[in-house]
Amino acid sequence: MKLYCKVVALALCLGILLLLYLFVGDADEPPLKVAKGSPAALVPSGPGADAAPALRARFRAVPPAEEEEAAQVSRREPRLHRKPGKRSAPKRKFANARRPKDQKPSTVQFSSPQWMHLAVVACGDRLEETLIMLKSAVLFSNRKLKFHIFAEDSLKPEFEKKLQDWPLSYTKKFEHNVYPIAFSVGNAQEWKKLFKPCAAQRLFLPMILKDVDSLLYVDTDVLFLRPIDDIWGFLRAFNSTQLAAMAPEHEIPKIGWYSRFARHPYYGTTGVNSGVMLMNLTRIRNAQFKNSMIPTGLTWEEMLYPLYQKYKNYITWGDQDLLNIIFSFNPECLYLFPCQWNYRPDHCMYGSNCKGAEEEGISILHGNRGVYHDDKQPTFKALYEVIRDFSFEDNLFQSMYYPLQSKFLDTVHTLCGRIPQVFLKQIEKTMKRLYENRVVVHVGANFRL
Ligand SMILES: *[C@@H]1O[C@H](CO)[C@@H](O)[C@H](O)[C@H]1NC(C)=O
Ligand SMILES: *[C@@H]1O[C@H](CO)[C@@H](O)[C@H](O)[C@H]1NC(C)=O
């Protein structure tokens, strides 16, 4: 193990040297050449302009990659510091969906700060879990985030306090709002009882967050292993009828829950899982939905309560079942993203069945059924614990990646533990990107000074 660490350290050093070398090579070319016709041409250059990002880079674990200056001037600018070859190499089939702005900088970038909105509903004992989820979001994401936290009144002060305790370099990457649990239609008590406490809240987000165009909703037991920017990119891939995106509930219909047990309509052959749900709220608010109650369409808000009344005796998983019913009648409205964006124990506990995750690693981990808190799926628990225990200012490799690897050694007796590379591939890539960013931005600034 010791030897292994040394080898890794040596490789890292070599990597840094290589990056340095490549950058120095690059610096001969004027950046304007790369930026021809792009908004980056407007970025003021010279030592004065570069000093601020360089200083900031020194004081944080995460690079200033795409922050204020990026939002105000252009999101392209920081990428110019990278080696172009480095980026294009790992491009996969979703690269287009993920980074549409890379290809076509539009004028919208200048005027809108392009916040990404993340919503979560936290009740009961889910406070810590929710904070770890938010932590993974802020650790790895590039653009600024707005957190919409729906929580029981008793949890609000604790949320405020905990979030304020995070270091400034991270708190300035997001804004947050804690809302009380509220239901706009029907009987509030009845909604609250549906499934686990408060989960039905998510169905009301289009009506409550009237000023928000698009939103990523996640369950509290979700962990981001790559920037939210990447899943956010799916919004741009929607065709004209799609207004929400989710992953299938199962990969294999034969052992899927819906295909075997559901007594209500559900989407597709296996149903969808609602733990990670991307929504274009503008479209949801404006759409007319087909339904099984009246021949004409209904708006989202009009439809919810009658639908619930009609199916309440047949549904098991609460709001997720309602979403499945809705999209079974309106399949053209749903964008289906692959399983690595909502990876659950189901994807490995009977043997690995999520092809996308085998190929490119897990992008978003979803530890449902409480697996972060018991010993049934130690691989899931290991990831939760290393992110929980990571102190913001530490080195990601030393304090997250290596501990993760050694924890995984203790999980090889489980089926999920036998495919550690599936769990590690994406998070490793994410860390590398952050690290490269930091080194290159830092070194680049020094070089020009
Ligand atoms: C959501 O849909 C509206 C209406 O079609 C569109 O104007 C908006 O750009 C979409 N939002 C995103 C993030 O794609
Ligand atoms: C959008 O995609 C969905 C799912 O593939 C499809 O059912 C729907 O017909 C498409 N809509 C349009 C307008 O092409």
**Residue 196 confidence (pLDDT):** 60
Name every residue whose Cβ is closer than 8 Å to that of residue 57 and which is 6 or more positions away in sequence. 63, 64, 438, 441, 442, 445
Ligand 2 centroid vs 67 CA: distance in angstroms?
35
Distance CA 147, CA 134 (A): 8
Ligand 1 centroid vs 280 CA: distance in angstroms?
6
- Identify the sign of the CA torsion 247, 252, 257, 261: positive
What are the angstrom distances between the C-alpha of 331 and each of 55, 218, 297, 319, 342? Answer: 50, 21, 14, 17, 19
Mutate to test the pocket of ligand 1, among 98, 213, 216 (most ligand atoms within 8 A of CB): 213
Q: Is 394 in the pocket of ligand 2 (CB under 6 A)?
A: no
Q: What is residue 337's DSSP assignment?
A: P
Tokens of 70: 């990026």
State which H helix or E strand residue 279 sits in: strand 272-280
Inter-residue contact 118 to 212 (CB < 8 Å): no
Tokens of 186: 């029907």
Mutate to test the pocket of ligand 1, among 114, 214, 241 (most ligand atoms within 8 A of CB): 214
Q: Is 60 left (phi over 0), alpha (psi -120 to 50) or beta?
A: beta
244-248 vs 334-336, strand pairing mode: parallel
Atom of ligand 2 lying closest to residue 239 CA: 1
**Over the chain (449 residues), what is each successive 10-residue block's mean pLDDT?**
57 54 40 34 34 36 36 37 40 40 41 82 93 97 96 94 95 96 74 68 93 97 97 97 97 86 89 96 97 93 90 86 95 98 97 97 97 97 97 92 95 96 96 84 58
Q: Is 240 in the pocket of ligand 2 (CB under 6 A)?
A: yes
Q: What is the DSSP string of 162-198?
A: HHHTS-HHHHTTEEEEEE----SSS-HHHHHHSSSTT
79: number of CA atoms within 13 Å, CB side? 19
Distance CA 133, CA 221 (A): 7
Per-domain boundaries in the chain: 116-337, 369-443
Q: Is 330 in the pocket of ligand 2 (CB under 6 A)?
A: no
Q: Where are the alpha helices (DSSP H) in 295-377?
A: 300-311, 319-329, 355-360
CATH 3.65.10.10 fits 116-337, yes or no: no
Residue corresponding to tokens 């990670």: 276
Q: Is 259 in the pocket of ligand 1 (CB under 6 A)?
A: no
Select from 354, 336, 226 the least CA-distant residue to 273. 336
Atom of ligand 1 lying closest to residue 232 CA: 13
Q: What residues pair up with 22 in beta bridges, in sequence order?
A: none
Select from 176, 161, 163 the least CA-distant residue to 135. 163
CB atoms within 10 A of CB 301: 15
Distance CA 355, CA 347 (A): 9
Distance CA 345, CA 335 (A): 23
Residue corresponding to tokens 């939760």: 384
Ligand 2 centroid vs 244 CA: distance in angstroms?
12
116-122 vs 145-151, strand pairing mode: parallel
User: Both ends of the chain: CA-CA distance in Å?
Assistant: 41
Query: Virtual CA dihedral for 331, 334, 335, 339, nearest 10 degrees?
Result: -90
Q: Is 361 left (phi over 0), alpha (psi -120 to 50) or beta?
A: left
State which H helix or E strand residue 146 sits in: strand 145-151
Name every residue whose Cβ is closer than 8 Å to that of residue 13 and which is 6 or more positions away in sequence. none
Q: What angle is formed at CA 282 by the lines to CA 316 and CA 273, rounded to 5 degrees?
A: 25
Q: Is 242 in the pocket of ligand 1 (CB under 6 A)?
A: no
Ligand 1 centroid vs 98 CA: distance in angstroms?
16
Task: Tell me what the pLDDT averaged over the chain comes to.
Answer: 79
Query: What pLDDT digit, counting tens, does each position of 105-124 carry?
Result: 344 444 445 899 999 999 88
Distance CA 97, CA 111 (A): 22
Select from 363, 229, 215 the least CA-distant residue to 277. 215
**Residue 188 confidence (pLDDT):** 72
**Residue 32 confidence (pLDDT):** 32
Residue corresponding to tokens 């609460």: 318
From atom 10 of ligand 1, which residue's Cα is the shortest distance away?
280
**Residue 197 confidence (pLDDT):** 59
Q: At 239, is the secondary structure helix, strand, or coil?
A: coil
